[in-house]
Amino acid sequence: MGKKSCSILIVGMIVLAVLIVKAVLFFTAEPKVTVNYVAELNRMSRSADYDPNDNAAAYYEKASFAYVETPERVLQAYTNWPGDMNELALDALRKWLGENSPALEYLERATAKPYLWVEGHNKDDYIMSSRFSGPANIYKLCKLLDWRARLKAIDGESAMSLKDLLTCWKVGDHYTNTKLLLDDQLQGLRIKEHALKTAFLILDLCKIDAENLMLWQKNWEQEFKRDEYIPRFETERLVYYDLIQRNFVDNGRGTGRLAWKKAKNFTVLCHSLYNLRIFLSCFTGPNRNEVTEIVNSVFGHYEEAVKKTPWEIRTAEQTYRAKIERVVEKKPILDRFIPPLDAYRLCYYRIKACSEALITAVSILRYKADKGSYPKNLDELIQQKYLTKLPRDPFSNGPLVYNLLDDDFELYSIEKDFRDDGAGRFPGGNPISGIPEGDEVFWPPFSKGRKNIKFYKLLEKNSPQTIRGTSTPKTEGNYRPFDDKEF
């Protein structure tokens, strides 16, 4: 063999050896965890003037620990209203409330504290497994507090009923803390919404005199005026930064790609083509810098978008969403790093609309108690000093929709389709007929099987197909009433 051939062979072997080493390094590369994001979260979420005596966390823990689970008899008799229960179930409900008195007392003491902060702890400093989300029983306790409010309303204690609902709202206030992660903020929004919906239920089913209605309006207005919460996402960014550092190779330049050993974390069932593209991203990218840029872009956009109502940004929002979808289509791994921030923003504005509607509904009922009839329009409430301003609908360019009915009234938001569907709604959308969610109806509330004839007419007009297990078309004379528990 000649010297030239020998040299070529040696070079070839060296190249092959280098390729083998690179292949081994590629398939065995592990991401480096260089930042403790749990510690960073604790630093960002803790107030500069933190005082343990002002922290509600200890009382929430005690309330959760003291909670007594729902007895079987109450579960079997589940309904939306205590007055619909039989005597045995009602006795069980009252006994259950008595057993939970210590837990509810701790809950009330917690709401007297100015803020809620819990220090995150985790052995591997993994922020995803150290999410707070509060003690497990807090949401159950708030629902229990709602039940006590309903019972007090039935017993004619509307002022005490209001106190319980306001306590529930204040729990939601603690959780809607912009320094908490979004799971916790969403927990707070759910608690607030539950308190508002129970308030509507009580107003609908209990006769509250004009004096107590004024008390309700004054107290709720004070709470809403103090509520300065707007969703923020600074702490939530840390979750995605941590996800990036734990799944992407760190080469010191930010150009490392998804680690081969971590690709399986992003695969999905029954979608082989998608999974193939995920594994290919280990070779083709995006890299750490590109993923971080997308994360920052999405969070930055929603930091600005949440300051505007859905109506104000609907066109820009669609444009931005289309842009992100085009980017994800080229590099599907990015889809797993785009947080569902739009859902949080919409939930926030639904509750804003619900808050406006509650004050308006109370003022309408006050007007009826004083005048003997409902106002012809919302402007009349302002003229007569029952309201100070028109209730704005975040999903439209105007106020909430108010219409007089034969012996009642309706009050609603046109919701996220930005179209007035005449108070027709189907919460969550109809999975069979494809009818959109429609309007968010605040009054009349769905209670005790109350009919929503407008909804059934909308349903019949759009689709006479099977719905909720029956093929019978829903009309004014032929319907199956349902209530909140079905949703």
Kindly report which listed range (20-24, 265-269, 469-473) carries the lowest average pLDDT score.
469-473
Q: Rounded CA gap, 278 and 27, in Å? A: 15
User: Which residue is associated with the tokens 């923003």?
Assistant: 345
Q: Rounded CA gap, 248 and 11, in Å? A: 32
Query: In terms of pLDDT, which residue wins out, 196 or 485?
Result: 196
With a pLDDT cut of 70, the percent of the chain lying above it is 79
Q: What pLDDT score was predicted for residue 11?
A: 63
Mean pLDDT across the stretch 116-137?
Answer: 69
Output DSSP code: residue 455.
H
Phi/psi of residue 321, each to 5°? -60, -40
Q: pTM for the full model?
A: 0.83
Residue 449 has pLDDT above 90, yes or no: no
Query: Mind listing the pLDDT tens digit for each residue in 214-262?
Result: 999 999 999 999 998 998 888 899 999 999 999 998 888 888 888 888 8
Query: Do the Cβ atoms of 185 and 235 come closer than 8 Å?
Result: no
Q: How confident is the model at residue 341 (pLDDT cuts 50, 70, 90)?
A: confident
Residue 167 has pLDDT above 90, yes or no: yes
432-433-438 Cα angle (round to 5):
115
Mean pLDDT across the stretch 66-74?
Answer: 86
Query: Mind listing the pLDDT tens digit for each residue in 383-392?
Result: 999 999 999 9
Q: What pLDDT score was predicted for residue 457?
A: 42
DSSP reduced 3-state for 404? strand
Q: What pLDDT score was predicted for residue 47?
A: 83
Q: Rounded CA gap, 484 and 487, in Å? A: 6
Distances (CA, A) of 35 to 20, 122, 231, 423: 31, 14, 25, 51
Residue 467 has pLDDT above 50, yes or no: no
Phi/psi of residue 157, each to 5°? -100, 70
Q: How confident is the model at residue 130 (pLDDT cuts 50, 70, 90)?
A: low
Pairing mode, strands 440-443 and 401-404: unpaired
What are the CB-based long-range contacts (under 8 Å, 24+) for 418-427? Answer: 418/310, 418/311, 418/314, 420/396, 421/458, 422/454, 422/458, 423/452, 423/454, 423/455, 424/452, 424/454, 424/455, 424/457, 424/458, 424/459, 425/452, 425/455, 426/455, 426/459, 427/487
Residue 447 has pLDDT above 50, yes or no: no
Query: Hey, which residues does 440 pair with through a beta bridge?
Result: 413
Residue 485 has pLDDT above 70, yes or no: no
Give Cβ neighbours of residue 104 (< 8 Å, ≥ 6 apart): 63, 97, 141, 144, 145, 148
Q: What pLDDT score was predicted for residue 446?
A: 65
Q: How confident is the prediction for the chain on average, in pLDDT?
A: 82
Q: How confident is the model at residue 292 (pLDDT cuts 50, 70, 90)?
A: very high
**Nearest C-alpha neighbor of 361 from the set 329, 400, 407:** 400
Give Cβ neighbours of residue 125 (< 8 Å, ≥ 6 apart): 33, 36, 37, 38, 39
Q: Rounded CA gap, 231 and 189, in Å? A: 10
Number of Cβ within a 10 Å radius of residue 449: 12
Kindly report which listed range (123-137, 308-322, 425-439) carries the lowest average pLDDT score.
425-439
Q: What pLDDT score was predicted for residue 2?
A: 65
**Nearest C-alpha neighbor of 165 from the set 189, 200, 135, 133:** 200
Q: How confident is the model at residue 71 (pLDDT cuts 50, 70, 90)?
A: confident
The token pair that represents 125 in the structure block = 């400093």
Using CB atoms within 10 Å of the CB of residue 239, give its burial: 0 to 12 exposed, 13 to 18 middle, 19+ buried: buried
**DSSP state string for 4-66:** HHHHHHHHHHHHHHHHHHHHHHHHH--------HHHHHHHHHS-TT--GGGB-HHHHHHHHHH
Mean pLDDT across the stretch 366-384?
Answer: 94
Output DSSP code: residue 484.
G
**DSSP state string for 93-139:** HHHHHHHTHHHHHHHHHHHTSSB-------TT--GGG------TTHH
Kindly report which listed range (156-160, 288-292, 336-340) carries the lowest average pLDDT score.
336-340
Kindly report which listed range (296-300, 341-345, 416-420) carries the lowest average pLDDT score.
416-420
**Nearest C-alpha neighbor of 181 from the set 309, 382, 12, 341:** 341
Query: Mind listing the pLDDT tens digit for each residue in 401-436?
Result: 999 988 899 999 988 888 887 776 555 554 444 445
Q: What pLDDT score was predicted for residue 107?
A: 95
Q: Rounded CA gap, 30 and 282, in Å? A: 13
- Going across the sheet that includes 401-404, the strands are 401-404, 409-413, 440-443
Q: What pLDDT score was predicted for residue 142?
A: 93
For residue 444, whether the previous peptide bond is cis, meaning omega lies within 30 degrees of 0, is: yes
Q: What pLDDT score was predicted for residue 27?
A: 57
Residue 472 has pLDDT above 50, yes or no: no
Mean pLDDT across the stretch 276-283?
Answer: 86
